[in-house]
Amino acid sequence: MLKVVFLDRNTLAPQTVVRPLGFPHELRVFETTSPEQLPEHMADADIVITNKVRLTADAIAQAPRLKMVAVAATGTDNVDLQACVRRGITVSNIRNYAGHSVPEHVFALIFALRRNLLAYREAVRRGRWQEVGTFCFFDYPIGELHGATLGIVGNGVLGQGAANIGRALGMRVLQAGRKGRATVEAGYTPFDEVLAQSDVISLHCPLNSETRNLIGTAEFERMARRPILINTARGGLVDEAELAVALKAGRISGAGFDVVSQEPPPPDHPFNALCDHPGFILTPHVAWASDEAMQTLANQLIDNIEAFVQGSPRNLMS
């Protein structure tokens, strides 16, 4: 009988239904798993389910029966894929489940920042409206999205979803080519030109050796139109200390982030000092987490495991 271990069930909402697996098995579910608990939790597992628990080469080596890692997310940067390849361990991820949830969250951040909703809300809370004594006040600029330029970095389902919403709002959409390439394919705009021309830039690319610190000091200096920068993809795509500098210096108009390089951010993280800044919004990695998207994820997770057991693995990573 196969032994299945879910290492971090609490990364899915309690209302999300994880249906029973359709084959004989023994299931152990842990709400959380610390690095110290990992060897014990997965020692005799045939199949491990993880969302955010890191499976290093050392951890994998301590699970001699391991045959499959079912990642309850799209990103697999928490799994040592090469160690799995060497052991012949199948790794499957979740795909195309948050195609509405993430783009909607992107535009929730964009609307809030472009129209300075947080600044106006705080002003009203402080009594500014009564102080002014007129029917409205204009302490903070309000910009329309119609006619503005949206730069998309990453052309997967989520990037395309954000681009489609932008076009529906009357935005000009630029799809960025790969950083550092002088020539790009048809339909793409050189990366540096996207930085220079965009009023809003939204990141939708994976985190890897090519994209780590994709946006840093040099890139902020190229942002001629002082754009809003949105990151709902992965922490680490942006040099977070430099983002804080750029925002305070006015090189960007605002920043909406749903991801951080360390989650939750430690007390000395530069984002903590920005939380009272009217041009900064930080949400706790929930862009993907609509009830509908989480249920789709849970259904696909079980589909992936059952497909593997039936001999037809899917959504393979290597």
CATH code assigned at 107: 3.40.50.720
Residues 65 and 177 in one domain: no
What total number of domains does the chain contain? 2
Residues 131 and 206 in one domain: yes
> Hey, what amino acid is at 94?
I
Residues 191 and 108 in one domain: yes
Instruction: Count other C-beta atoms under 10 Å from residue 44's C-beta.
Output: 14
pLDDT in tens, 234-287: 999 999 999 999 999 999 999 999 999 999 999 999 999 999 999 999 999 999
pLDDT value of position 111: 98
Residues 34 and 126 in one domain: no
pLDDT value of position 12: 96
Percent of the chain with pLDDT over 70: 100
Please give the backbone phi and psi of residue 234, each rounded to the nearest 5 degrees, phi first: -150, 140
Instruction: Count other C-beta atoms under 10 Å from residue 141's C-beta.
Output: 10
> 3-class DSSP state for residue 154?
coil
Residues 124 and 259 in one domain: yes
- Give the active site residue among 26, 210, 263, 292: 263
pLDDT value of position 62: 93
Report the length, in residues, of the chain: 318
Q: Which of 298, 112, 99, 296 is nearest to 204 (CA)?
A: 99
Residues 123 and 173 in one domain: yes
The residue assigned the tokens 């593997």 is 308
Instruction: In whole angstroms, give the CA distance from residue 236 to residue 242.
Output: 12
pLDDT value of position 49: 98
Q: Which of 211, 280, 266, 267 is nearest to 239 (CA)?
A: 211
In this prediction, residue 146 has a pLDDT band, given cuts at 50, 70 and 90, of: very high
Task: State the chain's mean pLDDT as an integer.
Answer: 96
Residues 79 and 27 in one domain: yes
pLDDT value of position 239: 97
- Give the active site residue among 234, 240, 242, 251: 234
Is 263 in the active site? yes
Is 172 in the active site? no
In this prediction, residue 301 has a pLDDT band, given cuts at 50, 70 and 90, of: very high
Here the tokens at position 228 are 């809003």
- pLDDT > 80? residue 318: no
- Any idea of the CA torsion for 24, 34, 241, 109, to the nearest 10 degrees? 40
pLDDT in tens, 21-68: 999 999 999 999 999 999 999 999 999 999 999 999 999 999 999 999
Instruction: In whole angstroms, give the CA distance from residue 14 to residue 56.
Output: 28
Q: Which of 250, 257, 278 is nearest to 121 (CA)?
A: 278
Overall average pLDDT of the 167-176 stretch = 98
Instruction: In whole angstroms, give the CA distance from residue 101 to residue 190.
Output: 28
pLDDT value of position 181: 86
Overall average pLDDT of the 5-16 stretch = 96
Residues 93 and 106 in one domain: no
Overall average pLDDT of the 284-291 stretch = 96
pLDDT value of position 227: 98
Overall average pLDDT of the 179-197 stretch = 92
pLDDT value of position 208: 87
**Domain span at 53:** 2-97+291-317
Overall average pLDDT of the 156-173 stretch = 97
Q: By the 8 A CB rule, do 94 and 315 touch? A: yes
pLDDT value of position 184: 87
Here the tokens at position 122 are 């705080």
Residues 132 and 163 in one domain: yes
Overall average pLDDT of the 148-163 stretch = 96
Instruction: In whole angstroms, give the CA distance from residue 31 to residue 41.
Output: 11
The residue assigned the tokens 């783009």 is 103
- pLDDT > 90? residue 313: yes
Residues 131 and 248 in one domain: yes
Residues 129 and 220 in one domain: yes
Residues 89 and 106 in one domain: no
Q: Positive or negative CA dihedral for 148, 152, 156, 162?
A: negative
**Is the pTM here over 0.95, yes or no?**
no
Question: What DSSP designation does 173 have?
Answer: E
Overall average pLDDT of the 143-150 stretch = 98
